[in-house]
Structure formats: C-alpha cells, structure tokens
Structure 1
Amino acid sequence: MTRVCFVGSPDVNLQYELLSRETSREALATYDLRRPFENTLEVRTISLGAAISLCNDLQWYLVRFVDTVLIQEPSVSDDEWLSRSLARALRDGHLEPADTGTYLQVYGLERPDPMSDTVDAPGADTVDASSDDQPIDDTDTPTAKKSGGGRQAQTVQRESQQAESTETATESQPTPRLVEPLYVKRVDGEVPEYDLRPVDETLVVRLTEDEFLP
C-alpha cells in the first residue's frame, strides 16, 4: 500500500478544510483517514499511480490548504518518504528507485506537552453540526453542488472523528508535529544528523535534485 500524507499549511486546520467541502470529501470518502502528525491527513492507496491520481484530483485544495505532500512507496523504502515531484518522476519512469535517496529533507518530530491546550491551527474547533453557515460547498469550483448544510456538517464531524480515532498516537503519546526541515545530502549511505533543534525522532523525505537545489 502506498501512503499519502497531506501536511496542512500553518494557518489552516487541514481536516476541516478537506472534509467540509463536497468535492474533496467525496474524493476521500473511500479511504480510511488517519492523522499521523499534527495538522495532517493520511490515506493509503493501492499503488503509486493511484496516489498521484488522488493528488491530481485534489489539486485545487492542495494549492490552497496543503503545505506539502509526502508519499511513502514500499518498493522504494519502508521508512523514508518521497516528495510528490519525486513520486511522479518514479511513476513516469524518469527515475529508478536506486537513483533516489541522495537529496533529502529531514523533519524533526516534536511531541507537544500533553497538558498543553494548543490546537493544530486556527479553526480547529469541531464543526458545528447545527449550523448551515459552514463553508461546506465548493462555490469556487465548477463541480459545486448545494445541499443541506447541517447534514453535511454532521458528515464532516463524523469523518474528522474517524481520522482522530485512527491516528497513530495514543493518550500517553501525543501526536507529533513536523518541525523545521533540514536539507542534506546522504553521505556514504548515512543521513547527516538533524541539528536545528533537540528532537527525539526525525522523518526523512527523498527529493528530486531540482527540489534540493531550487
């Protein structure tokens, strides 16, 4: 299974934005939703091609609400992720798995204080199922359709709760957040140490050369 993780922009609540709009909600409806990191949404697709197709289907929303897309393909690595551009190059046959892994983006993983009242992002409060004023319709897209606001808000709340209940963290181990990516090159097969701040864990993302050297 190929994992796709959408990382929300810092100023939005990603679950709300993707699940409160009809077209994106329908595109995600067939997947089990997970939240491996703060302000993210993850799904598992059947192949790398399916992962890229899903990203293409959600492009309108990704541009507006997503900071980055991470893709994990088992045929490439079981523990390192791919940028969307690199995943596309692999899908199209422009690169082979053995050609990847030199250019890296390393995120620190920071676990928030479980006693903190901090939320993911502005608008993180649960959607009010009784209100018809939530932005539940894609008024900026040609596929928009009007329907009952209260009923759709209940769907948003239910699917958001599904993502919360299937996330990898537990009550004793809060959901980690991705912090300050470090751009490095793999040296002699080893990933250089993350040194931007003290963290217990890191997440490695493989990039294209163009992404590493903008």
Structure 2
Amino acid sequence: MTRVCLIGDPDYTLQYELLSRETSREALATYDLTRPFENSLAVRTVSVGAAISLLNDLQWYLTRFVDEALVLEPSVSDEEWLSRALATDLRNGDVTPAETAEFCKIYGLEVVGEPAGPGSDGETDSGPESAAAESEPRSTEADDEEATSARRQGATRRLVEPLYVRRTGGKLPEYDLRDVDETLVVRVTEDEYA
C-alpha cells in the first residue's frame, strides 16, 4: 500500500486544521489516520494514483497548513519517501522508479517529549486544546514503523534540518547537519533539488 504523510507547518496544529474543517475531514474520513512524526498526519492508500488524488483533494489545506507532503510507494522503495512533485511525475509516467533515486533530501529525526512512565500506553499529549481534539487520530497496531520505537518510549519524533544530497555510486552521503540517531530520506525532483 502507498502511504501519504503530511508534515504540518510549525505555525499550525495540523490535526486540528484538517479535522476541524468539513471538506478536509470528509476527504480523510475513509482512512485510518496515524501520526508518525510531531505535527503530522499519515494515511495508507491503494496506489500512488490514489495518493496523488487525495493530495489534490486537499490542495487548499496543503497550501495553508502543510510544509511537506510525502508519498511512500513500495514499488519504488520501502524506506525512501517521494516528494509530492516526484510522486506526481511517477504517476504520470514522466519518470520510472529507477529514475527517482538521484536527488534526495535527508531529514534528521529528533526525539521530542518525555518517556512514558510504567503502565502508560505510550501516547504523547500533543493534541490541540479544542473540540477537534476528540477527532485526533490515535495510535493503532497499523501505525507506521517510523513511529513505533518513539511511541514505545513515550516520545514523538520531529523532522529537522533537511540536507539536500545527490546519490553517487548508488550511495547517499551521511547526514551531518546535527547529531541524530535516525534519518528520513525523501527523493525529490531535480527542480526541487536545485
């Protein structure tokens, strides 16, 4: 299944902004919502075409409240995400999966929040202080792998400082902007890289 992950603009609480508005709430109603990173929202779709269609349906909200819209397409990679522009090119047949690997953006993953105490379910309290908090997505067993280890420790992870790199000889350079335990690779178009 293809996954879509929306990373919210730091000036807004993404879950509140999307779930408090009727049109976006209805567009997301058929999906199981997860939160793999701080201020994010993720869903699973049936294909890259369905992922792009969902992003197009949410365009008004993406423009206002989202910093990044990412797509994880298993036919391309199980670990490296695609930018929305690159996923659109893939869906339109403008690039093949093999042609998506050269240009990348690597994010550091920083753990935020305090570890959960004994007997806790590992949830973090980062929801909005409004009526929409009742609609906030909750963790399920189907949550993305990226969030599993952080949730077990009672913390969430945040994407920090992207490093733009070019894959050479099949290898990516190391992320060196700050000391992090993990990184997230996003494949981008040549225009986004420039």
Alpha-carbon distance in structure 1 between the residues aligned to 2:63 and 2:92: 22
**Which residue is equivalent to 2:171?**
190
**Which residue is equivalent to 1:176?**
157
Pairwise CA distance, 1:95: 0.4
What is the percent sequence identity of the aligned residues? 62
- Aligned pair count reads 180
**Which residue is equivalent to 2:180?**
199
Per-residue CA deviations over 1:42-95 (Å, capped at 9, x if unaligned) read 000000000000000000000000001010000000000000000000000000
Alpha-carbon distance in structure 2 between the residues aligned to 1:119 and 1:8: 17
Alpha-carbon distance in structure 2 between the residues aligned to 1:20 and 1:50: 23
Alpha-carbon distance in structure 1 between the residues aligned to 2:164 and 2:179: 16
Per-residue CA deviations over 1:101-126 (Å, capped at 9, x if unaligned) read 110000000001416xx976xxx533
Alpha-carbon distance in structure 2 between the residues aligned to 1:91 and 1:125: 35
Alpha-carbon distance in structure 2 between the residues aligned to 1:64 and 1:70: 16
The ranges of structure 1 where at least 4 consecutive aligned residues each deviate by more than 4 angstroms after the TM superposition are none
Alpha-carbon distance in structure 2 between the residues aligned to 1:36 and 1:125: 16
Alpha-carbon distance in structure 2 between the residues aligned to 1:125 and 1:35: 13
Query: Unaligned 5+ residue runs, structure 2?
Result: 116-123
**Is 2:103–2:166's contact at 8 Å kept on the other side of the alignment?**
yes
Alpha-carbon distance in structure 2 between the residues aligned to 1:16 and 1:192: 37
Per-residue CA deviations over 1:143-189 (Å, capped at 9, x if unaligned) read xxxxxxxxxxxxx33330xx232353425241110000000001211
Alpha-carbon distance in structure 2 between the residues aligned to 1:45 and 1:103: 25
Which structure has the larger Rg? 1
- Structure 2: which amino acid aligns with 1:200? D
Normalised to the residue count of structure 1, the TM-score between the two structures is 0.79
Q: CA RMSD in A?
A: 1.8
Alignment of 1:1-214 (within 5 A): 1-114=1-114, 124-128=127-131, 156-160=132-136, 163-166=137-140, 167=143, 168-169=147-148, 170-213=151-194
Q: 1:211 to 1:37 in 2, by over 3 A?
A: same
- Structure 2: which amino acid aligns with 1:96? T
- Structure 2: which amino acid aligns with 1:125? P
Normalised to the residue count of structure 2, the TM-score between the two structures is 0.87
SS of structure 1 residue aligned to 2:32: coil
Alpha-carbon distance in structure 2 between the residues aligned to 1:125 and 1:179: 22
**Is 2:103–2:165's contact at 8 Å kept on the other side of the alignment?**
yes
